[in-house]
Amino acid sequence: MEELWSPPAPEVAEAIRSLCQRILADTDGLTDALAVPARTAEDDPNLLSDASLAEEDRQLNRADVVQWLTANIQEPGRRVAPYIGTRTSAYIRDLVSRGITPDFAEGWRAALPIAWRRWLEECSVYCEDRDLLVEVLDVSAQSMVQYAIDSVSALREAMFAAATGDADADAVAVIQLIANGAPLTQDFAEGRLNYRMSRWHVAVVLWSDEFQRVGALDEVVAAVRSKTAGRNALVARASATARWIWLSGSAVPDPHQIEEAMARAEEIHAAVGRPGYGLEGFRSSHQDALAAQAMVVRLGSDRRFTAYAEVELIDALTKDRSTARRFVTKTLGPLAEADEELRETLLRYVQCGFNTTRAAASLYAHRNTVERRVTRANNLSTVKVENNPTHVAAALLVLEFVPDIVAAPFS
């Protein structure tokens, strides 16, 4: 690339190299600080609401941070070439196929001040000499701003290239229109997707946390197709690390067939929406599945199969993580950190309508054992189950889904 400014003096170059090495050790912390402002500034609701795309956007931010830091370790203070790697290219193709056109320039405008402030903080600690500080800031400012300009240009070129070469973009764009509530007719949707709408639908989101393991996604898709033979299935590549699936039939599809199909793929997660009928059911079940996925990602849960019908209350309770933590601790008190067996027994007892015999059968335990556990758990709980079973059950459900919610402090 053409150099637009003079190279720094040796002592300035060495200072920049040392500063970049210090920050590189905390790449994830800086990435987290940049992610939300940058993504919000891009201001596309489809990008903001999809957990898989949001994670890919975060990885793009991380790649940008690493690229600038490592380039300045190798050649301090020089112009840095934008990073458009395999994962970035796949992410761009996913955006194009979904009809998403984020404003990359606005994203950089939001992220750059945060990155620059972190850089200033490190410079103020490292550069005790005033003249050295001025030179470091002068050179690094030019490098950082030019990197933002070059990166926006490269991303726009990649978007254009992807838009002119994606043969599947039309079908995915129709799915996106349906998901967003566009006024499409059922006949139009069926014709473009080759998928019947006048049936019951169950939507599924499959995803992996690891880009390197995405090949397993398509293996699970094949297993789902095999397991649900006789039903119509629509599969869309939602992102490099996610697939959208709709299963349909004259009767409501059984979502637990999906859980069975993914039994051996330990690195894959699935979120399933509630069943729905027709075009509206296609849309609403998909929205449920996306909400379940977003909740799993938001809470950092390792749960592999999540049906939204079973966790809708948890989703509502945990929108604000610190509030959820406070609710659990104030409701359960010492029980929140007691033996898991006690909590499971008390929850099952409530779910079985306070019927000890049914709870014992579901837990494969003796009735007397269940009675002892329930009594002990209730004694530990701040709110007694007989006084407010709804709150106790809700708190236990949150704790079941996120076992470390009490122990782990929230940012």
Same domain for 16 and 159?
yes
Q: Which of 261, 279, 310 marks a domain boundary? A: 310
Q: Which of 103, 138, 163 marks a domain boundary? A: 163
| pLDDT single digits (tens) 165-193 | 544 566 777 888 888 888 888 899 888 88
| pLDDT single digits (tens) 187-208 | 998 888 888 899 999 999 999 8
Residue 41 has pLDDT above 70, yes or no: no
Confidence grade of residue 44 (pLDDT, cut at 50, 70, 90): low
Same domain for 330 and 303?
no
CA 47 – CA 57 distance, rounded (Å): 9
What is the radius of gyration, based on Cα positions, of the chain? 26
Question: Mean pLDDT over residues 155-166, rounded?
Answer: 68
**pTM for this structure?**
0.62
Same domain for 240 and 366?
no
Report residue 88: phi and psi, to 5°: -65, -45
| pLDDT single digits (tens) 54-112 | 888 888 888 899 999 999 999 999 999 988 877 888 888 788 777 777 788 888 888 89
Percentage of residues in the chain with pLDDT exceeding 70?
91
Question: Mean pLDDT over residues 130-156, rounded?
Answer: 92
Confidence grade of residue 371 (pLDDT, cut at 50, 70, 90): very high
Same domain for 282 and 325?
no
Same domain for 244 and 197?
yes
- pLDDT in the model for residue 167: 44
| pLDDT single digits (tens) 237-277 | 887 788 888 988 888 888 777 888 887 777 899 999 999 99
Confidence grade of residue 298 (pLDDT, cut at 50, 70, 90): confident
Is 5 inside any structural domain?
no
Same domain for 133 and 81?
yes
Same domain for 179 and 302?
yes
Cα separations (Å) of 321 from 164, 308, 315?
42, 18, 10
CA 60 – CA 31 distance, rounded (Å): 9
For residue 231, the one-letter residue type is: R
Question: Mean pLDDT over residues 6-34, rounded?
Answer: 90
CA 105 – CA 103 distance, rounded (Å): 5
Average pLDDT value for the chain: 86
- pLDDT in the model for residue 346: 94
Same domain for 175 and 158?
no
What total number of domains does the chain contain? 3
Query: The domain containing residue 385 runs over which residues?
Result: 318-401
Percentage of residues in the chain with pLDDT exceeding 90?
42
Question: Mean pLDDT over residues 119-137, rounded?
Answer: 91
- Closest by Cα among 19, 52, 56 to 35: 56
Same domain for 210 and 113?
no
Same domain for 60 and 174?
no
Same domain for 159 and 175?
no
Lowest mean pLDDT, pick from 172-181, 296-305, 402-411: 402-411
CA angle 13, 18, 20 (to 5 degrees): 95
Instruction: List, in sequence order, every residue forming a beta bridge with 207; answer none if it has no partner.
Output: 242, 269
Same domain for 144 and 50?
yes
- pLDDT in the model for residue 228: 67
Residue 411 has pLDDT above 60, yes or no: no
Q: Which of 112, 145, 163 marks a domain boundary? A: 163
